[in-house]
Amino acid sequence: MYNEHSLASEQSTQKQQGFSSLYRHSHPAPACSAKTSATMSRTMADGSEDVNGNISRTGSHRQTDYHGYKVGFPPAKGLFAELVEGVKETFFADDPLREYKDQPRSKKLWLSLVHLFPVLDWARSYTFGMFKGDFVAGLTIASLCIPQDIGYAKLAFLPAHVGLYSSFVPPLVYAVMGTSRDIAIGPAAVLSLLLGTLLQEEIDPVKNPYEYSRLAFTATFFAGITQAMLGFFRLGFIIEFLSHAAIVGFMAGAAITIGLQQLKGFLGIAKFTKKSDIISVMESVWGNVHHGCNWQTILIGASFLAFLLTTKYIAKKNKKLFWVSAIAPLISVIVSTFCVFITRADKQGVAIVKDIKEGINPPSFHLIYWSGPYLAKGFRIGVVAGMVGLTEAIAIGRTFAAMKDYQIDGNKEMLALGTMNIVGSMTSCYVGTGSMSRSAVNYMAGCKTAISNVVMAIVVMLTLLLITPLFKYTPNAILASIIINAVVSLVDYETAYLIWKVDKMDFMALLGAFFGVVFASVEYGLLIAVAISLGKILLQVTRPRTALLGNLPRTTIYTNVEQYPEARKVPGVMIVRVDSAIYFTNSNYVKDRILRWLRDEEEQQQEQKLSKTEFLIVELSPVTDIDTSGIHALEELLKALEKHKIQLILANPGPAVIQKLWSAKFTELIGDDKIFLSVDDAVKKFAPKSALNV
């Protein structure tokens, strides 16, 4: 799991030698003498040079004269310079202003417009050949999104036409501002479930549909504000706190919950629980079994679900037949609607969609709650939905960008997603994001740019204007089958098994998120996922790994003795590596862990009658930073070692670490002769006889 930092330390020595002006020589004369040069020339024929520049022969003998370089200090920086550098690395790591340097004002204005609207950049090289790919892809994902949008709107307890609205306006906005070529925008299963669960806790969608829709638009508005602000202030790193394992567990739990909720439409149950946990759902299903279910509804749902799963299996086995699975939902809707219409199965208890409002999106700015108690509730729901939507969309965008070998800008993506949801909230849409199933179809259909989203939006617009009355007799059972088929792929058991093999703590986060969603609710599952992810971070920060190092025979490499059993400990010398920055959160632990290494070593020496430890070398190459608490812990460690007559030696401290040690005068306390560029140098200096024998 961890690379051996001591090897990297030895290799970094070559780089540091290049900055000779920053380093002092402990033995300048021998290092530059003619005698040394002659020795190097003689050994070229029958020896080799190691990573530190030391000459070693193929036999067991090795030169013990180290190169003579000492640890250097980086150039001094003022407080303002350090603050500027810290802010730059935190918020502007990609150096977004580099293109503006030395450019005329007109060019800067154009670059600003391109930064805000990336379409201005790639549209200049857009060709008819690219449009053909986008056109086919747009038609394909439109055939998939239309039935899905109707089903997802019902999942969010919103009218069916609102789902279609959400695949018309938002994709157009994203096509202008987004940086992903492959992501397909619109309602998503998990986000629809999350929104529906949170909204119905505040307003009953059956008794008060008007207020419910208003709260949905309000939440969508604040979801967009949240996303846009994160992008504008370049705070996208916040969503990284939700680990990949937690997302896998959350998605799987949401898929199970969504699938269970579709039993209402799949079985034709009239009265169904509003809760989403598995216990409440199964109680509701079992309670309705005694009253009987509609067999025609079950027949429709089961038949078309089998058809959809079969087409998905065919597409998985043969990637060229992806279109079979893509158009299957629309075919299912058309066939099932026709069958219900000619048999009038709706009069025999088969629930249907009924009327879908015709026409394109009406304005909804006036429907958003700008004051009152629902303003705060909409804000809370919107922030949660916005964060989940961002996480899902950026993960999807990065996945397909890596497959096509191009880069997406996370901050631009947040601005694009936020803007589209803000505009969407004012045009009767609910929260939209990237859809994994539609994006995969978009990719396989050969999309070239975001124009495929424009084509999809135009098809949805024509559907709203011309053919929505044809969906009147569409059975709810077929929508349930389409949603179940869509969420099956969200249960990624292969990735879950890989996470179990790689990292058990990550797997615990996965299970926590999964069971939280399944047995409690979507928001509790999300909360558990975040809590476990943060807990893992805190555990790693407060309890960093340490390792006991030994020398690999006939090399200058000092590495973990547990990972490399052949590595030999140096008699009289104990070498410890700290694999983390040393802060107030872990400084005492690091000190206590090193002392425990010493106690264990002393017990082993007494049992085996070995020579007593005289030197403790602390390898600091993995220590990227240290604070005053960390320095204080080193001072306490030094005092504890002096009582046992053990000398403390530091090896390869980084620029930030050595600068702070010098500022705190710890270098004077320990002595400049106790700080070395590498572990090998320290061993050669203080245990030369051992260095000859290892």
Mean pLDDT of the chain, nearest integer: 85
| Predicted local confidence at residue 53, as pLDDT | 38
Amino acid making up residue 36:
T
Q: Name the band, by pLDDT with cuts 50, 70 and 90, for residue 66.
A: low
Contact 497, 229 (CB under 8 A): no
Report the C-alpha gap between 256 and 363 in whole angstroms. Answer: 35
| Predicted local confidence at residue 291, as pLDDT | 65
Is the predicted pLDDT of residue 630 greater than 90, yes or no? Answer: yes
| Predicted local confidence at residue 445, as pLDDT | 92
The whole-number average pLDDT for the span 81-108 is 77
Helix (H) or strand (E) holding 596: helix 587-608
Contact 558, 619 (CB under 8 A): yes
DSSP state of 204: -
Q: Which residue has the higher pLDDT, 97 or 675?
A: 675
Q: Which two tokens stand for residue 671?
A: 């002595």
Is the predicted pLDDT of residue 37 greater than 60, yes or no? Answer: no
Among the listed residues 611, 659, 603, 669, the one whose alpha carbon sits nearest the alpha carbon of residue 638: 669
Q: Cα dihedral angle (533, 536, 538, 539), rounded to 10 degrees?
A: 170
Is the predicted pLDDT of residue 432 greater than 80, yes or no? Answer: yes
For residue 93, count other CB atoms closer than 10 A to its CB. Answer: 10
| Predicted local confidence at residue 514, as pLDDT | 94
Tens-digit pLDDT profile for residues 242-267: 788 888 999 999 999 999 989 999 98
Is the predicted pLDDT of residue 67 greater than 70, yes or no? Answer: no
- In sequence order, the 6+-apart residues with CB closer than 8 A to the CB of 298 are 266, 267, 268, 477
Tell me the angle at which helices 322-343 and 436-444 cross, rounded to the nearest 10 degrees. 120
Tens-digit pLDDT profile for residues 436-482: 889 999 999 999 999 999 999 999 999 999 999 999 999 999 999 99
Radius of gyration of the chain (CA): 32
Tens-digit pLDDT profile for residues 265-305: 998 887 888 888 899 888 888 887 766 678 899 999 999 99
Q: Which two tokens stand for residue 167?
A: 């695949």
Q: Which two tokens stand for residue 312?
A: 């998905």
Report the C-alpha gap between 413 and 239 in whole angstroms. Answer: 13
**Measured CA distances, 1 to 239, 501, 502, 557 (Å):** 24, 12, 9, 19
Is the predicted pLDDT of residue 31 greater than 80, yes or no? Answer: no
Fold topology of 543-686: Transcription Regulator spoIIAA (3.30.750)
| Predicted local confidence at residue 427, as pLDDT | 97
Report the C-alpha gap between 408 and 371 in whole angstroms. Answer: 37
Domain with CATH 3.30.750.24 in the chain: 543-686
- In sequence order, the 6+-apart residues with CB closer than 8 A to the CB of 145 are 167, 184, 186, 435, 438, 456, 460
Report the C-alpha gap between 259 and 275 in whole angstroms. Answer: 13
Is the predicted pLDDT of residue 381 greater than 60, yes or no? Answer: yes
Tens-digit pLDDT profile for residues 493-529: 999 999 999 998 889 889 999 999 999 888 888 888 8
Report the C-alpha gap between 604 and 640 in whole angstroms. Answer: 20
Question: Could you give the 3-state DSSP secondary structure of residue 158?
Answer: coil
Most confident by average pLDDT, 4-18, 54-68, 390-404:
390-404
Report the C-alpha gap between 685 and 279 in whole angstroms. Answer: 69
Percent of the chain with pLDDT over 90: 64
**Measured CA distances, 669 to 82, 333, 475, 599 (Å):** 26, 79, 81, 24
Is the predicted pLDDT of residue 689 greater than 70, yes or no? Answer: no
- In sequence order, the 6+-apart residues with CB closer than 8 A to the CB of 361 are 165, 168, 169, 427, 428, 429
Contact 209, 369 (CB under 8 A): no
Q: Name the band, by pLDDT with cuts 50, 70 and 90, for residue 536.
A: confident
Tens-digit pLDDT profile for residues 590-619: 999 999 999 998 888 888 888 889 999 999
| Predicted local confidence at residue 32, as pLDDT | 37
Please return the burial class of 37, using the count of CB atoms within 10 Å of its CB with bins 0-12, 13-18 and 19+.
Answer: exposed
Tens-digit pLDDT profile for residues 651-685: 999 999 999 999 999 999 999 889 999 999 999 98
